[in-house]
Amino acid sequence: MSRVVIISLCDVIGYNGAMNQTYVHLEELADSIVVHAKGDWTLYSEPQINSELASFHPSKKIVWDLSKINSFDSAGVLLFMRFDEQFRAKFEVDVIGYTSEQQRMYELLKKHSVKEAIPERSEGMLSALGKRAVEGYREFLEFLDFTGYLLVAFLRYFVHPKNLRHKEITYHIERSGLSALPIIALTSFLVGMVISYQSAVELAKFGADVFIVDLAGISITRELAPLITAIVVAGRSGSAYTAQIGAMKITEEISAMRTMGFDPFYFLILPRMLALMISLPLLIFFADIIGIMGSMFAASLELNISYSQFIDRLQEVLAAKHFWIGIIKGPFFAVLIAMIGCFRGLQVTDDTESIGAQTTASVVNAIFFVIACDALFSVILTEWGI
């Protein structure tokens, strides 16, 4: 006489008396294990049935007994088919107790089941290029909308002087201007030295040592000091604007401001832009002085040109227009850096990873547009003969 052992799979997987119903019982015989399925095998009971069957690890022939199943929907049949295929891959399997209706549903789903997973369509080069183009066009439209709203807010800012946020503007001048002096000084000094050292080797071959003053003075004041200063500020202050506004958007501070009737353009964007428009020309003036000092230092070491000779020659060849051209570039660069930094901050979504992505995009975009703007200045001024 064979020994019969009834095991509830809910006990195997650690369920206690909290579960009122089980859907699978095992009956262990001498040569097989009978899997008694019972209750409603439907979409709602599928998670529990799946958990019970997943804990079952057979070691011999399996017999499915479906006679105690009350109802069977397509989700229950698909679950049965999945585990039936797993068991058949290792052991002999028999099925008993099924009704004709269950048999028809099983055959229907078996006939129309997908044998192989449909592979995901790989994205081709043209598809990726098209997506990037559409995304770029969408961002361009959003930037135009941002620019238009900012222009209107900027005009209203001066129509109603009481809207000026003097305290915030002063704070951002200190943060984006005064705090940037050390890095601007170091960068400008090194650039001035490099120009003199590189030029001295070639000029010395032709006995034109003194022309190093012309080269350094004009190139630094007109091109290099504005460009280097703007790039440093874009990497320093532009990225800070993006991170600050992006963090405020994630914490919903911007939404709260709008709810209370405060326009973020007046309180967040315009003070930063005006502060940068004021501080960047001053930083360029500072970079002019430090860059010329670096060039003077290198010329003294490499070509034995004294400081007094350098300054006298500089006064002769450096026209005021070169200095003012460099200074006038400052507000234009400042507007580009502040607009792009604040725009990218408003583009941040509800996850912290977006802050890093938008900050990176802010720096890259700002540097690109600063260089493009400088190139545009050079072309226009050259055509005008200035």
Nearest Cα residue to 318 out of 189, 187, 221: 221
Residue 333 lies in a domain: yes
Range of the domain at 60: 5-112
What are the φ and ψ backbone dihedral angles of 385, each rounded to 5 degrees?
75, 30
Residue 121 within any structural domain of the chain: no
Residue 33's CATH number: 3.30.750.24
Q: Are 310 and 213 in contact (CB under 8 A)?
A: yes
For 136-143, which contacts have Cβ atoms below 8 Å and span 24 or more sequence positions? 139/347, 142/343, 142/347, 143/343
Same domain, 340 and 370: yes
| This prediction's pTM | 0.66
pLDDT beyond 60 at 126 = yes
- 133 vs 3, higher pLDDT: 133
CA distance 253 to 247: 9
Indicate whether 296 and 347 sit together in one domain.
yes
Q: Taking residues 111-135, what's their average pLDDT?
A: 72
Residues 107 and 145 in one domain: no
Residue 119 lies in a domain: no
Highest mean pLDDT among 7-11, 21-25, 151-155: 151-155
The stretch 107-124 carries a mean pLDDT of 63
Q: Are residues 279 and 344 in the same domain?
A: yes
pLDDT at 267: 84
Please provide the average confidence, as pLDDT, over all residues in the chain: 81
Q: Which of 55, 9, 59, 53 is nearest to 29 (CA)?
A: 59
Q: State residue 331's pLDDT score.
A: 93
Output DSSP code: residue 364. Answer: H
**In this predicted structure, what is the pLDDT of residue 17?**
39
Residue 122 lies in a domain: no
Is the predicted pLDDT of residue 161 greater than 80, yes or no? Answer: no
Of the three residues 47, 78, 112, the one that is the final residue of a domain is: 112
Residues 141 and 102 in one domain: no
pLDDT > 70: percent of the chain: 90
Look at residue 110 in the predicted model and tell me its pLDDT: 67
Same-domain check for residues 13 and 76: yes
Residues 6+ apart with CB under 8 A from 226: 284, 287, 326, 327, 329, 330, 333, 374
What confidence tens digit (pLDDT) does each residue in 77-99 have? 777 777 777 777 777 777 777 77
* Higher-confidence position of 303 and 226: 226
Residue 120 counted as domain residue: no
Among 87, 112, 137, give the residue marking a domain's end.
Answer: 112
Asked whether residue 10 is domain-assigned, the answer is yes
Residues 315 and 236 in one domain: yes
Residue 117 placed within a domain = no
23 pLDDT above the threshold of 80: no
Give the residue from 48, 82, 112 where a domain finishes: 112
Q: What is the DSSP letter of 164?
A: -
pLDDT value at 238 more than 70: yes
Q: What domain count does the chain have?
A: 2
Q: In the block, which residue shows the tokens 């199943």?
A: 69
Residue 13 confidence class, pLDDT cut points 50, 70, 90: very low
Whole-number Å distance between alpha carbons of 24 and 9: 7
The band of 230, judged by pLDDT with boundaries at 50, 70 and 90, is very high
Q: Which residues contact 22 (CB under 8 A, 6 or more apart)?
A: 8, 9, 10, 38, 39, 52
On whether both 108 and 136 belong to a single domain, the answer is: no
**Quick one: pLDDT at residue 4?**
37
Please check whether residues 176 and 79 belong to one and the same domain.
no
134 and 214 both lie in a single domain? yes
Same domain membership, residue 153 and residue 66: no
* CA distance linking residue 284 with residue 301, whole number of Å: 26
> Could you tell me if residue 314 is inside a domain?
yes
Both 73 and 20 in one domain: the answer is: yes
User: Stretch 237-261: mean pLDDT, rounded?
Assistant: 88
More confident residue, 125 or 338: 338
What's the whole-number mean pLDDT along residues 210-218?
85
Helix (H) or strand (E) holding 130, with range, is helix 125-159
